[in-house]
Structure 1
Amino acid sequence: MSRLAKRPFPNLACALALAAGLSFGASGAASAQNVLIRNATVHTAGAQGTLRGTDVLVRDGTIAAIGKQLSAAGVETIDAQGRPLTPALFGGINSIGLQEISLGDDTRDQALALGDAKDMVVRPEFDVTLAYNPASILVPVARVEGIGFSMLGADSVRGGSIIGGQGGIVRLDGSPDPIGPRALFIQLGSDGAGLTGNSRAAQWMILDQLVDEARGRIPVDASIALLTPAGRQSFARYLDGGGRVVVAVHRAADIRQLLRWSQRHGVRIAILGGSEAWMMAPQLAAAKVPVFVDALANLPADFDRIGSTLENAARLRAAGVPVSFSQFDDAAHYARKLRQAAGNAVANGLPWEDGLAGLTRVPAETFGVADRLGTIAVGKRADLVLWTGDPLEVSTVATQVWFDGRAIPMRSRQTELRDRYLRAAGDLPRAYPAGND
């Protein structure tokens, strides 16, 4: 571990106290509010498209009506003045609430590493959502910038297996539990080859064996068995049209093999990364496989990503592939920047409506929560964001975020520090709350 990783977090007690104070707790989230948002440019991200000069009425935390000149006596009214209103945005596949400092091993809970490094330990029953901390300092940092939900991913690279484990969707409203079905995470290609005898070919051999074990073709006590009884049950749930399997993979040749494997075993896959996915766009569209791209990836970082291009999202979508977004470097810390990545995809040919859908409807549909999240429609949860301008523009900010129709405090650790150090010093230096607050 680096010296920086061992160093105590500065003012840790103050930081944790602030996080607790800013946490929009589960009890608050459950107390839904009635509100009428008037005269907004409503980007529904759904079948209704964009509705200008439109009102949205929220009752008991649910969208009750969408239209013009709505009336609701005794309901708090917000004049949007024509500004954009969107569903709360997706923060990507990351470890928000599972890590605080990326260099601090004691603050990271997204990976499972058991046994000797040379012996792969396969535990698909590992569920990272059990470690989720809704009071994480990173949660309010993301949500004040319009991020309302995220997928907790299980990290294979830091673990000891190409099977990272399971994750789930969390709402960033302070709720402690994930919503919707779990997803299983797998790492393929060169990033996972070190876990499979330095051979990407061995990855398919191992995956086929896991299928055989889950289907009872290999006895539990066999010397070659890789799965525990619980692991067999967990892995079996993702076969024959079961839960979603998210596969981190980049090379077009590996994606081709992945499509064949998934079709052979009835596995519903989504691709994470997919730098060369555009080369397989027709096949991905035919198989209805969503791809979560890094919209800023345009360099051949390794031999798996020779075909990287900023037009990846646009080419995929033009072929009919559902496209969403996710980042890879410090994704938990920079979830708030995902809309900037979507804006870059739009700048490189992706239609604007598809850029917004990639931050809302597509991830909600992919992970089985579209009945509650991802669009503005009657009957949906009122997880909404009012913006100063185009939400895909980097200069735009969120003026208000609602969860279940309840306006959250637009504060985070970052805004508190900003306000502290921008004000004039008192008798004591600005770092001392007693001298200024």
Structure 2
Amino acid sequence: MNRLPMIAAAAACLWLAAGAAWAQDLLIRNATVHTATTRGTLQNADVLVRGGRIAAVGNGLSAGGAQVVDAQGKPLTPALFGGVTGIGLEEVSAEEATSDHALALGSGAKDMVVRPEFDVTLAYNPDSVLVPIARVEGIGFTLLGADATPGGSFIGGQGALMRLDGGIDPAGPRVLFVELGGGSAANLTGKTRAAQWMLLDQLIDEIRGRIPQGSDMALLTPAGRRTLAHYIDGGGRVLVGVHRAADIRQLLRWSKRHGVRIAISGGAEAWKLAPELAAARVPVFVDPLANLPASFDQLGASLETAARLRAAGVAVGFTQAGDSSHNARKIRQLAGNAVANGLPWEDGLAGLTRVPAEAFGAGDRIGGIAPGMRADLVLWDGDPLEVTSLVQQVWLDGRAMPMRTRQTELFERYLRTAPSIEGGDMPRAYPATVR
């Protein structure tokens, strides 16, 4: 008797049983539901979760055996976007051995090595201590970024959306990262931004076969050609770090000429081209605190950038300068500052949920509260765009996430009351009661 089919069937049953236990059926009652969809905000509403997906959103829903949570009127939102980060790609920013978000292969235009096939998602570590730190602050997904700045090319490589649920597979298609403009980007292209357009057109010629593989002019490996070809003629999304209005104007022309679907990161002067960006359907991820001329590319920076872009019809998301991996929680403060400077509140929330999900290819699955979407939810004790508000509970796929981090464990280890100096588990230097 062949036992393989029986074993396979038993394994399938066990997998299904485990999946059913993994996906908790849940009914969240009486919440202020910020759907981040066209339905807007629903008062005293219920959200029913079955099999890890949102089954219904409305009033007076029947639990039907699901676990019931009474929200007591508190805000319920989709899990938030953490911005472009290296969460899961780095542990200690200053320790090079713990960082996997950049490929360093030379410098300058003469010896440039362009490797768009470099994919940081392959190094993602779901057990990183940074994952729960971001998650307990309401962050449910992030865009893993390939950083061009430390490398030998203004094309950094690929990343993708990653849900902070412990899984290792991206939540959306790959995104290509490109850095344009002055400063570090110009240093990678012969110290002139003019060379960036020359080199981009040269790469297009190489993809289209007008520069033979192996010639002295070729910049790409065979895998690089295949990868970069995916991002032209209406293919995958390219996220371009750029600030100056003149550079953004050239970018719009170049992307239209080659059918490249772009999004902009930074965009300090993007408001000057708001109508053109809206017409081209280019989402812009801004830092709402960039209001000073931090460089010659950002002379037009303004606290009202997000509001001006959105008023013109541009989809606006958020990004932050500095150590975004360790400070992902601060991105909702940025959204709050954008709202304080004229951006409508609903658009502030959308910039943390729906806009990044749609921009990076996962808008049908995450970033909103609607039937059929993944049940990635956050219950708050107050306005989620207010810095003083705290997360009550995070659910991913309807599963309640542990609201613990390395920091909370250290707190409990060192600052909570010890049973006694001699018999407790505290270090000897600590008193029986820490005040």
* 1:420 and 1:431 in contact (8 A); partners too: no
Distance 2:263 2:166 in 1: 27
- 1:132-147 to structure 2, matched below 5 A, reads 132-147=124-139
CA apart distance, 1:71: 1.1
Q: Does 1:107 align with 2:107?
A: no
Secondary structure at 2:172 match in 1: strand
Q: Does 1:226 align with 2:229?
A: no
| 1:31 alignment counterpart | 22
- 1:17-416 to structure 2, matched below 5 A, reads 31-115=22-106, 119-190=111-182, 191-416=184-409
Cα distance change on mapping 1:264 and 1:135 into 2, 3 Å: same
How many residue pairs end up in the alignment? 410
Residue identity opposite 2:146 in structure 1: A
Unaligned stretches of 5+ in structure 1?
A: 1-26
Residue identity opposite 1:396 in structure 2: S
* 2:106 and 2:151 in contact (8 A); partners too: no
Residue identity opposite 1:141 in structure 2: I
Per-residue Cα deviation, 1:270-322 (whole angstroms, up to 9, x for no partner): 00000111111111011010001011111101100001111110010001100
* 2:101 and 2:120 in contact (8 A); partners too: yes
Distance 1:116 1:90 in 2: 33
Unaligned stretches of 5+ in structure 2?
A: 1-17
Per-residue Cα deviation, 1:388-408 (whole angstroms, up to 9, x for no partner): 010000000110000111101
CA apart distance, 1:422: 2.3
* 1:36 and 1:78 in contact (8 A); partners too: yes
Per-residue Cα deviation, 1:224-270 (whole angstroms, up to 9, x for no partner): 11001110000000000000000000000000000000000000000
CA apart distance, 1:74: 2.1
| 1:427 alignment counterpart | 421
Question: Identity percentage over the alignment?
Answer: 69
CA apart distance, 1:420: 2.5
Q: Provide the alpha-carbon RMSD of the alignment.
A: 1.9
* 1:110 and 1:128 in contact (8 A); partners too: yes
* 2:107 and 2:188 in contact (8 A); partners too: no
* 1:29 and 1:174 in contact (8 A); partners too: no
Residue identity opposite 1:179 in structure 2: A
Residue identity opposite 2:123 in structure 1: A
CA apart distance, 1:101: 0.8
Distance 2:188 2:319 in 1: 24
| 1:18 alignment counterpart | none
Distance 1:55 1:433 in 2: 50
Distance 1:136 1:269 in 2: 30
Distance 2:54 2:296 in 1: 48
Secondary structure at 1:141 match in 2: helix
* 2:283 and 2:316 in contact (8 A); partners too: yes
Residue identity opposite 2:61 in structure 1: L
Residue identity opposite 2:36 in structure 1: A
Per-residue Cα deviation, 1:111-135 (whole angstroms, up to 9, x for no partner): 0012466621100000000000000
| 2:8 alignment counterpart | none
CA apart distance, 1:418: 2.3
Secondary structure at 1:54 match in 2: strand
Distance 2:20 2:134 in 1: 16
Q: TM-score, normalised by structure 2?
A: 0.91
Residue identity opposite 1:140 in structure 2: P
Distance 1:346 1:401 in 2: 24
Secondary structure at 1:175 match in 2: coil
Distance 1:410 1:267 in 2: 41
Per-residue Cα deviation, 1:332-365 (whole angstroms, up to 9, x for no partner): 0011111111000000000000000000000000
Bigger-Rg structure (1/2): 2
Q: TM-score, normalised by structure 1?
A: 0.91
Single out whichever of 411-420 and 351-360 deviates more from structure 2.
411-420
* 1:29 and 1:404 in contact (8 A); partners too: no
Cα distance change on mapping 1:251 and 1:326 into 2, 3 Å: same
Secondary structure at 2:149 match in 1: coil
* 2:107 and 2:151 in contact (8 A); partners too: no
Secondary structure at 2:336 match in 1: helix
Cα distance change on mapping 1:53 and 1:277 into 2, 3 Å: same
Per-residue Cα deviation, 1:38-80 (whole angstroms, up to 9, x for no partner): 0000000001110000011111111111111111232110000
